[in-house]
Structure 1
Amino acid sequence: MFTIDAHLDLSMNALEWNRDLTQPVATINAREQGQNDKPDRGKATVSLPSLREGDVGLVVATQIARYVAPDNPLPGWHSPAQAWAQTQGQLAWYKAMEDAGEMVQIRDLDGLEKHLSLWKCDLPNEDKPIGYILSLEGADSIVDLSYLEKAYDYGLRALGPAHYGPGRYAQGTDATGFMGKKGQELLKEMERLNIVLDATHLCDDSFWEAMEHFNGHVWASHNNCRALVDHNRQFSDEQIKALIERGAVIGGALDAWMMVSGWVRGKSTPLETGCNLEILLDHLDHICQLAGNADHIGIGTDLDGAFGKEQCPYDLETISDLQKIPKLLGKRGYSNIDIEKVMYGNWLRFLRKAWS
């Protein structure tokens, strides 16, 4: 079944992890044997061939570069200009993939419909480019608001104002506080340019402020439920209800610590915690119960978000195993129509409305 993944950090993996994503996952992992500079070395689950194998023909792909103040212990760049430059390197990689015929950027309704037609045709998947919608995870690299229009002009269509910790425009996971005037001005410019607000990673204060000040289209590319895993990274039921009211789609994430309670990084394992794809469905089910339908759930795996097999469902070897989800949904009583909504339909409906 054609599938949309609303959150992958492809360029980060290509440049910071030095992975050649045109290669099969097995080849990437074989080359990383013996390396230990990253916790997921040799445990990758994502590459462009694995996306094609799993019929994941369209993704929301990120740029990401954090600015850190002198008192911020998180990794990141020491000035917004350096963060901007990092995102431009990431953009250059996407453009190189386009030049090679590996990927194609989707930035409007016409491009979306053409890409869908291509993926419906009889060509083998290996001859089809992966479509990508460009998103910015954390707004720190937007040096000033004039840079947002520059980013829109090269294809940026979604933006999450914060990532982890304090940000220049909003406060993110594990931080507290409001967006303030600067963040509100960012939201206003996003609304003018019709850039989707990605509510993922906003701390509670900044989330509610964004909901109050932003009147454009909102989604949550990769977020699970606080009622099932009690952490500020997850959405509370009240936040989920607010997103539903705004017509948002929420992408279920496959990072194990967001899926099961009590995860200890570096110690817990997916098998011992019972973390499998069924757990993702528990989170999606919870959102459906709050909504009263299956119109607000999708997939946003984050499978290459600085973790690999050591911290994702044990019944998933590569991202191609997303094709196990339709059968699992069917066993839970989801209709074929609702299964299609989860795998791609809800994201398409959202995009068609936002770009009409």
Structure 2
Amino acid sequence: MFIVDAHLDLSMNALEWNRDLQLPVAAINQREEGLTDKPDRARSVVSLPELRKGNVGLVVATQIGRYVAPGNNLPGWHSPQQAWAQTQGQLAWYKAMEDVGEMVQINDLTSLEQHLQLWAVTNLPTQKPIGYILSLEGADSLIDISYLAKAYENGLRAVGPAHYGLGRYANGTDATGKMGADGLQLLKEMERLNIILDATHLCDDAFWQALDNFNGHVWASHNNCRALVNHNRQYSDDMIRALIDRGAVIGVALDAWMMVPNWVRGQSTPRQMNCNLQVMADHIDHICQLAGNTLHVGMGTDLDGAFGKEQCPYDLETIADLQKVPYLLKERGYSDTDIENMMHGNWLRFLRNAWK
């Protein structure tokens, strides 16, 4: 089945993890054996060949560059200008992948339909470029609001104003507080440019304020359910209902601490915590029950998002194993149409509506 994954940090892995994503996952991991600079070394699950193997033909791919003020212990850059430069290096990597036919940017309805047609008629996986929709995870790198238009010209089509902690435009996971004037101006400019608002990572205060002040299209690229894992990173049922009312699609993530309660980073293991793809289906079920249908949930895996096999479902060796998900959903009684909605149809319907 064709799959859309609404959140992958491909360029971050290429530049900050120094992974050649043109290689098979096994080759990437072999080269990382013995490295200890990052906790997920030699545990990667994502590469371009694995995306093709899993028929994951369209992804939302990120740029990310956080600004950190003095006293902020999160990893990031010491000025917005440096953060901007980081995102431009990431953009250059995507363009380089385009130049060699590995990827193709999808930024309007025409390019979307052409890409879907290519994947429908081309039999050899090696001949298929991975389509990517460019998204900005955290808006800190936008030096000022005028940079959003520059980014749009380069293909940016979705923005999550916040990431972790305090942000320049909005506060994110583990923080509180509403957006200030700059954040509200950002929302206004996003609406003018028809850039999708990614509500992921917005703290509760900023989440409700954003929905009240943004009249464009909203999605949540990678979020799970607070009712199942009680943490501010997840969405409460009220938040999920509000997104459903806005016509949003919510991508379900495969980061183990977001999937199962009481995960302890660096100590818990997926098998110990019984974290498998069935748990992903539990989060999917919960969203579908709140919606009363299967039209508001999809894949948003966040795989290799600064974690690897040590912190994702134990029955997933690489991202190609997303092809197991349709069978799990069928066992739970979902129809073929339901499953197609959740694996690709909901994201495609959303994009066709946003870009019509």
What TM-score bracket applies, with the shorter chain setting the length?
over 0.9
Structure 2, unmatched stretches of 5+, are none
Answering whether residue 90 of structure 2 is matched by residue 81 of structure 1, we say no
Counterpart for residue 132 of structure 1:
132
> What are the superposed Cα offsets for residues 153-184 of structure 1, whole Å, 9 maximum, x if unpaired?
00000000000000000000000001121100
Separation (CA, whole Å) in 2 of partners of 1:137 and 1:103: 20
**Shift of residue 122, structure 1, vs aligned partner:** 3.4
- Kindly provide the amino acid, as one letter, of the partner of residue 190 in structure 2: M
Structure 1, unmatched stretches of 5+, are none
Counterpart for residue 152 of structure 2:
152
Separation (CA, whole Å) in 2 of partners of 1:6 and 1:212: 24
- Kindly provide the amino acid, as one letter, of the partner of residue 152 in structure 1: Y
> What are the superposed Cα offsets for residues 193-220 of structure 1, whole Å, 9 maximum, x if unpaired?
0000000000000000000000000000
Counterpart for residue 338 of structure 1:
338
- Kindly provide the amino acid, as one letter, of the partner of residue 299 in structure 2: I
> What are the superposed Cα offsets for residues 249-302 of structure 1, whole Å, 9 maximum, x if unpaired?
000000000000000000000001000000001001001110000000000000
**Shift of residue 322, structure 1, vs aligned partner:** 0.1
Matches within 5 A, 1:50-61: 50-61=50-61
Separation (CA, whole Å) in 2 of partners of 1:122 and 1:221: 28
Separation (CA, whole Å) in 2 of partners of 1:313 and 1:71: 35
Counterpart for residue 222 of structure 1:
222
Given that 2:252 and 2:284 are in contact with CA atoms closer than 8 Å, whether structure 1 keeps it comes out as yes
Separation (CA, whole Å) in 2 of partners of 1:215 and 1:227: 27
Counterpart for residue 11 of structure 1:
11
Separation (CA, whole Å) in 2 of partners of 1:131 and 1:304: 18
Separation (CA, whole Å) in 2 of partners of 1:15 and 1:179: 31
Counterpart for residue 305 of structure 1:
305
Counterpart for residue 319 of structure 1:
319
Counterpart for residue 119 of structure 1:
119
Matches within 5 A, 1:171-250: 171-250=171-250
**Shift of residue 120, structure 1, vs aligned partner:** 0.2
- Counting matched residue pairs gives 356
- Kindly provide the amino acid, as one letter, of the partner of residue 272 in structure 1: Q
Counterpart for residue 167 of structure 1:
167
The 4+ residue runs of structure 1 with deviation greater than 4 A are none
Q: What SS does the aligned partner of 2:30 have?
A: helix
> What are the superposed Cα offsets for residues 114-133 of structure 1, whole Å, 9 maximum, x if unpaired?
00000001331111000000
Separation (CA, whole Å) in 2 of partners of 1:291 and 1:353: 19
Q: What SS does the aligned partner of 2:186 have?
A: helix
- Kindly provide the amino acid, as one letter, of the partner of residue 58 in structure 1: L
Separation (CA, whole Å) in 2 of partners of 1:315 and 1:20: 24
Given that 2:107 and 2:155 are in contact with CA atoms closer than 8 Å, whether structure 1 keeps it comes out as yes
Counterpart for residue 106 of structure 1:
106
TM-score (norm 1): 1.00
TM-score (norm 2): 1.00
- Kindly provide the amino acid, as one letter, of the partner of residue 249 in structure 1: V
- Kindly provide the amino acid, as one letter, of the partner of residue 220 in structure 1: A
Given that 2:219 and 2:243 are in contact with CA atoms closer than 8 Å, whether structure 1 keeps it comes out as yes
Separation (CA, whole Å) in 2 of partners of 1:89 and 1:42: 24
Separation (CA, whole Å) in 2 of partners of 1:40 and 1:71: 26
- Kindly provide the amino acid, as one letter, of the partner of residue 238 in structure 1: D
